Chains A and B, each alone.
Chain A
Amino acid sequence: MTQQTKLGLGFMGPAIVIVVLLFLAPVLLTGFFSFTNMSTATGISGGTYRITESVLNRLPADQVRPDVIVSLSESQFVVDEAGLEAMRAEGLDPAFIEELAERHGAEVFTSGDDLEDAMKDLDNRPRSIRVIKGAVDMFERSLRDRDFAEEAAFTAALDDAVVDLTDNERVVIVQAAYSGWTMTTSNFSRLWSTPQTGQVIINTLFYVGMTLLLFNVGFALVLAITTTFLPAGQSAFFRAIWFLPRISPSVLYVLLWKWLAWDTGFINAVLGQFGMAGRNWMLDTTANAWVFVILINGFVGASMGMIIFTSAIRAIPKPLFYAAQVDGASRWQQVRFIILPQLVWPLLFVSTYQTLSLLTSFEYILLSTEGGPGSTTEVWSLSAYQTALSNYAGNLQYGYGATMALVLVAIGVAASLLFLRLFNFKHLVSRPRIEQ
């Protein structure tokens, strides 16, 4: 390795670390999570094995015999010598142990509560309820509601509790009793067969397409071209104004839009003067909501294209314009034959970048319409976010949400390839004919 390569790698080092940690790892983890059923209920850090009422309800009647289910559901506490010995080993009061053995030796209790009550009735009962509860657990001889961290220990206990388990029954019970997440492909089939999926895709295409065409590329281009023909001072002023949405904090920016559109907002305050009834302009109808969503996002997005297109226009050699003017070309002809042909590269870049950006950005929608009214402005990334990370009922579905995010990654890659094809990328990067 040459000195120069080492130096290059040294400079790249921090960037590589950041790319791996912040970009590559999340994508790989998303890919992995999307093949799991991870949710709030399964936890992230793994589960335990436990026979609970829910597990018993879940056991399929056609695969596990009824008498097995009955024996698993029973709870049994036996005051036996093993338990008494365990109490001694724990250093509990000998008088308490002796009295328990004397009054309840060999007795079978069907619930921990009953044994707890029996212990509380003893003359030599410990003062602390915690000690009594601990002692009760030492006599538990059934599987019901006991937690096992390891599968092997659970299976052993299971075989002890039910002697004639078939192999299939054992597998089914162990599977049902595990509370953690498992690998699955069901997220994809669920996504495919859920009726809402189609509507969310349509919403996303509409949102990305309209915002991109009307603002992020279309309006940005108009701004760049018009400000080019203005005097320097004025053009700088207009560009600075169009930059304001971009540099405003998003929460504040959307709040301003809300103040504008609310029932008690600015629009209604003005229209109220003319006797018009107030309404929430942002959420009144689906069309209203879309107009606001596209305006809110478009005003932010237009500034970036404007700057890039402006700098590209500035890079066009001035003599081309002088020559065109001498030849009598109108402003429109200058735009059509000089400016636009020079903007193919920036157009490709802005379209691709903004498509990917719009596909994944949902914060302005979340802050303004929250996907409403109904779910008419719910786009894919917002839906994925709400599924995986934020919903009122609190059961977050990390696995299913990751599946949705993974699909978004695939769509992003496909869209990028489409743009490269559309703008004839090969032609753009081929060597100029003059150099061939």
Chain B
Amino acid sequence: MTIMKLESIRTTALAAAAAGAMLVATAASAQDYNITVWAGGSNDADIYRVEAIEMAADILEREMAILGEEVNIEVDGRIDFGSWDEFKQAVTLGVESGTGPNIVVTSHGDIAPWSSAGIIRPVEDYVDLDAWPLNDIYDNLIEISSFDGIVYGIPQDAESRPFFAWIPHMRAIGYSDEEIAALPARVQSGDYTLYDVLDDAEAMQEAGLVEPGYGFYPRVSNGPDYWQFYQSFGGEMHDSETGQLVLDTEAMTRFYQFFADAVERGVTRRNHIGTPWDQWYAEVASGQAGLWHGGTWHYARYTGREGLDDFFGNVQFSLIPSGGDGGGSNTITHPLVYLVTSQDDEDTAFIAAELIKIASEPRINTLHAILSAHLGISESQSQVDLYSGDRWAREATDRLLPYASAMPNHVGFGDYWNLMWAGLESVWAGQATPEEAVEGLQVAAQNALGDNIVIR
């Protein structure tokens, strides 16, 4: 990066020097830039991931015009990728072959492998992190966007993965309104645990409020959410001292055992994984499930497409409960980040980074946060009317974000994650006991990751 940057500094320096002179002279000939933005994991409600860059392009063109530079920026956005893996494959192969995008919106977890592969550029080389609006972004989000002490990305949104309970069913099994209101605090303190969840789920099924297997209704596919349950039992993913990944066999066994117990007690279906998402959303938003977990962005889906008018009257939300001894309540935030790829030249990368900077301004980012029911990235957003006037954004930010942790940025984490998921699936399907699955995971993780993982 350093070497590449030196090559083009002369042109920038000259351009900057010339800019002042051009304020009084005639404008230089127009410079055209085509900036391609690809956003993964996005649907219609996430359109501001691209449109914020378009808005930023308009502002940047005006700023450059004031400095005497005529710049035309064409933004070409794309969000229609089938799945995360299709998107990631398209980005990595595209950038390697020189046909990729300039800006990507992706999981922070991609920073480690993509920076190592030279697919992305450190954004800190292009923008002033000490200047507004970047100095206003939450420190922990900037940290999540960094790898090896270098800031590679700018957070695009924040979110968190809460636990949900259907209030009418909780009431029907004996909870008073006061107890339901106090539930988030009980979860946070560790008083209400994951095994209380199974008890309540069982009670709901016995009372005939939900069908068998619908008492506890987890996410239907792999996702960062499942690491929360590992953390609930005291598991750590990463040792920041040594930089190694951590497999805590006891916590992993207890985490697997919890899902084995949920299936065994009949409150979660054995064939739950693979349930179509549309079916799942429709069921949890209509009281067909008792307790479940999801993401803060689910609010938009429940209250929008699924037609749940009175969200706060029907749904209580909290951190993910503790698993009991040695664990604690928690939630994971999995922010998406804007990254500048190695596609095209330094000048284009500079423009791309500037656009990301402008798109991170509180008012522009709030458009995305509220439309898609994500959480804001900076302090100032709570002063933007659109944000502060939104009950969900306000309450979710207060109740969840201060306690949110993130998955580590580590080159080998993707492999570890896949193995953890394969182990959980085998326990869920009844193929292996938790102990057997953890044993298999241990051997496979050591084979795949060697010294990159430490087994405890």
Q: Do A and B bind each other?
A: yes
Q: Which A residues lie at the B interface, using CB under 8 A?
A: 39-45, 47-48, 52-54, 57-58, 90-93, 117, 120, 126-131, 133-135, 137-138, 140, 145-149, 179, 190, 193-196, 262-264, 277, 279-280, 283-286, 369-370, 372-376, 389-397
Given A134-B12, A375-B422, A397-B415, also A43-B243 (CB < 8 A): no
Q: Which B residues lie at the A interface, using CB under 8 A?
A: 1-6, 9-10, 12-14, 16-17, 19-20, 67, 84-86, 88-89, 92, 96, 107, 109-110, 112-114, 116-119, 125-128, 130-131, 147-150, 211-212, 221-223, 242-244, 269-271, 273-276, 279, 350, 410-415, 417-418, 421-422, 425-432, 440, 443-444, 447-448, 451
Given A42-B116, A372-B425, also A285-B270 (CB < 8 A): yes
Residue contact A41 to B110, C-beta cutoff 8 Å: no
Complex alpha-carbon distance, A33 and B39, angstroms:
30
Given A134-B5, A262-B276, A392-B223, 4 further pairs, Cβ under 8 A: A52-B148, A263-B275, A374-B429, A395-B411
Residue contact B5 to A133, C-beta cutoff 8 Å: yes
Distance in angstroms from B155 CB to nearest chain A CB is: 18
Which listed residue (B89, B417, B443) contacts A390, Cβ 8 A? B89
Residues from chain A with a CB closer than 8 A to the CB of B117 are 40-43, 47, 179
Complex alpha-carbon distance, A283 and B422, angstroms:
16
Residues from chain B with a CB closer than 8 A to the CB of A194 are 443-444, 447-448
What are 20 contact pairs spanning A and B, CB under 8 A? A40-B414, A41-B116, A41-B411, A43-B96, A48-B118, A52-B149, A54-B148, A91-B10, A92-B13, A130-B9, A130-B350, A263-B275, A372-B273, A373-B273, A374-B429, A392-B221, A392-B222, A392-B421, A393-B109, A396-B89
Given A131-B9, A372-B274, A396-B92, also A41-B447 (CB < 8 A): no
Q: Which of A277, A280, A395 has the most CB of B within 10 A?
A: A395
Q: Which 7 A-B pairs have the closest CB atoms?
A: A395-B414, A374-B429, A134-B9, A393-B414, A43-B117, A57-B243, A41-B113
Residues from chain B with a CB closer than 8 A to the CB of A90 are 6, 9-10, 13
In the complex, the chain A residue whose C-beta lies closest to that of B16 is: A128
Residue contact A376 to B429, C-beta cutoff 8 Å: yes
Residue contact A391 to B150, C-beta cutoff 8 Å: no
Residue contact A179 to B428, C-beta cutoff 8 Å: no
Q: Which of A129, A149, A279 has the most CB of B within 10 A?
A: A129
Complex alpha-carbon distance, A43 and B4, angstroms:
19
Residue contact A127 to B16, C-beta cutoff 8 Å: yes
Residues from chain A with a CB closer than 8 A to the CB of B119 are 43
Distance in angstroms from A391 CB to nearest chain B CB is: 6
Complex alpha-carbon distance, A124 and B410, angstroms:
41
Distance in angstroms from A400 CB to nearest chain B CB is: 8
Residues from chain B with a CB closer than 8 A to the CB of A389 are 89
Residues from chain A with a CB closer than 8 A to the CB of B417 are 392-393
In the complex, the chain B residue whose C-beta lies closest to that of A258 is: B276
Complex alpha-carbon distance, A48 and B275, angstroms:
44
Distance in angstroms from B94 CB to nearest chain A CB is: 12
Which listed residue (A128, A130, A390) contacts B85, Cβ 8 A? A390
Residues from chain B with a CB closer than 8 A to the CB of A145 are 148-150
Given A39-B113, A179-B116, A277-B212, also A91-B14 (CB < 8 A): yes
Residues from chain A with a CB closer than 8 A to the CB of B5 are 133-134, 137
Complex alpha-carbon distance, A164 and B88, angstroms:
43
Distance in angstroms from A99 CB to nearest chain B CB is: 16
Residues from chain A with a CB closer than 8 A to the CB of B444 are 194-196
Residue contact B447 to A190, C-beta cutoff 8 Å: yes
Complex alpha-carbon distance, A130 and B92, angstroms:
27
Distance in angstroms from B307 CB to nearest chain A CB is: 18
Given A90-B10, A179-B117, also A53-B1 (CB < 8 A): no
Q: Which of A40, A138, A283 has the most CB of B within 10 A?
A: A40
Complex alpha-carbon distance, A240 and B120, angstroms:
53
Q: Which of A48, A54, A126, A397 has the most CB of B within 10 A?
A: A54
Residue contact A373 to B211, C-beta cutoff 8 Å: no
Residue contact B440 to A195, C-beta cutoff 8 Å: yes
Residue contact A193 to B350, C-beta cutoff 8 Å: no
Complex alpha-carbon distance, A130 and B127, angstroms:
7
Given A147-B2, A370-B274, A393-B413, also A264-B279 (CB < 8 A): yes
Residues from chain A with a CB closer than 8 A to the CB of B430 are 374
Complex alpha-carbon distance, A146 and B427, angstroms:
45
In the complex, the chain A residue whose C-beta lies closest to that of B278 is: A264
Residues from chain B with a CB closer than 8 A to the CB of A134 are 5-6, 9, 12-13
Complex alpha-carbon distance, A177 and B415, angstroms:
21
Given A42-B117, A91-B14, A194-B447, also A392-B1 (CB < 8 A): no
Complex alpha-carbon distance, A283 and B271, angstroms:
6
Residues from chain B with a CB closer than 8 A to the CB of A262 are 276, 279
In the complex, the chain A residue whose C-beta lies closest to that of B244 is: A57
Residues from chain B with a CB closer than 8 A to the CB of A131 are 9, 12-13, 16
Residues from chain A with a CB closer than 8 A to the CB of B127 are 129
Residue contact B88 to A394, C-beta cutoff 8 Å: yes
Distance in angstroms from A419 CB to nearest chain B CB is: 32
Q: Which of B4, B128, B350 has the most CB of A within 10 A?
A: B128
Residues from chain B with a CB closer than 8 A to the CB of A54 are 112, 116, 147-148, 243, 410-411
Complex alpha-carbon distance, A120 and B128, angstroms:
10
Complex alpha-carbon distance, A283 and B2, angstroms:
53
Residue contact A263 to B113, C-beta cutoff 8 Å: no
Given A47-B118, A146-B2, also A372-B422 (CB < 8 A): no
Distance in angstroms from B289 CB to nearest chain A CB is: 13
Complex alpha-carbon distance, A423 and B298, angstroms:
60
Residues from chain A with a CB closer than 8 A to the CB of B242 are 57
Complex alpha-carbon distance, A195 and B2, angstroms:
44
Residue contact B428 to A137, C-beta cutoff 8 Å: no
In the complex, the chain A residue whose C-beta lies closest to that of B125 is: A133
Complex alpha-carbon distance, A91 and B20, angstroms:
16
Complex alpha-carbon distance, A376 and B244, angstroms:
31
Given A117-B130, A138-B6, A375-B425, also A392-B84 (CB < 8 A): yes
In the complex, the chain A residue whose C-beta lies closest to that of B1 is: A147
Residues from chain B with a CB closer than 8 A to the CB of A280 are 269, 271, 274-275
Which listed residue (B9, B84, B410, B443) contacts A193, Cβ 8 A? B443
In the complex, the chain B residue whose C-beta lies closest to that of A45 is: B96
Residue contact A130 to B96, C-beta cutoff 8 Å: no
Residues from chain A with a CB closer than 8 A to the CB of B451 are 58
Complex alpha-carbon distance, A140 and B1, angstroms:
13
Complex alpha-carbon distance, A126 and B14, angstroms:
11
Residues from chain B with a CB closer than 8 A to the CB of A376 are 429, 431
Residue contact B270 to A284, C-beta cutoff 8 Å: yes
Which listed residue (B10, B222, B270, B448) contacts A373, Cβ 8 A? B270
Given A129-B128, A373-B273, A390-B89, also A53-B149 (CB < 8 A): yes
Residues from chain B with a CB closer than 8 A to the CB of A138 are 6
Residue contact B429 to A40, C-beta cutoff 8 Å: no
In the complex, the chain B residue whose C-beta lies closest to that of A57 is: B243
Distance in angstroms from A194 CB to nearest chain B CB is: 5
In the complex, the chain B residue whose C-beta lies closest to that of A395 is: B414
